[in-house]
Amino acid sequence: MEKEISTIVKIRFNDCDPIGHLNNVKYLVYMLNAREDHVENFYGFTYEDYTQQTGCTWITIQNEIAYLKEVRYNSKVQISSKTVDVGDRLSKIEILMKSEDGKTIHAVLWITIIYFNLKTRKSEVQPEEIKNKFREYGVEIEQKDFQSRVSYFRKHNKTA
């Protein structure tokens, strides 16, 4: 079972600033689109179907992103995603944008999501079967806070 899922994408001209660097907001777009595709294609799960069946979904309540190395127009990048924490209400996803060969980390994004009932408009405890499903795909990481994780990747990039 693959726990850290990766796909390759090409950086488009219209997503870059005038000097050819990927616009900061577009990192989020590329990374979030990749995560949505990963969940559907590798976990066999769509947020849309789940929401229609249960009336519940996950809402992003926090994004933490660090831009570690520029990404230029027309380059190909590898975007990987993984679940790094599953709690009763909150879960955390890590998405990395790497060089095509995976050696350099361009950006790291941590997304904190909360399980939310659309009918009651309140947070709820996630059902055990959902927590277990996402824990099954969970990846244990050594760094437990975002700044430590960013420092780890900065050091990694210096040796890459």
Confidence of residue 4 (pLDDT cuts 50, 70, 90): confident
The pLDDT, as a whole number, for residue 36 is 92
Residue 2 has pLDDT above 90, yes or no: no
The pLDDT, as a whole number, for residue 133 is 87
In the three-class reduction of DSSP (H, G, I as helix; E, B as strand; rest coil), residue 64 is classed as: strand
Total structural domains in the chain?
1
The CATH number of residue 89's host domain is 3.10.129.10
Domain containing residue 102:
5-159
Confidence of residue 1 (pLDDT cuts 50, 70, 90): low
**β-bridge mates for residue 49, sequence order:** none
The number of beta carbons lying within 10 Å of the beta carbon of residue 103 is: 12
The pLDDT, as a whole number, for residue 38 is 92
The pLDDT, as a whole number, for residue 45 is 82
Residue 156 has pLDDT above 80, yes or no: yes
Mean pLDDT taken over the chain: 95
pLDDT tens digits, residue range 81-137?
999 999 999 999 999 999 999 999 999 999 999 999 999 999 999 999 999 988 988
CB 71 within 8 A of CB 131: no
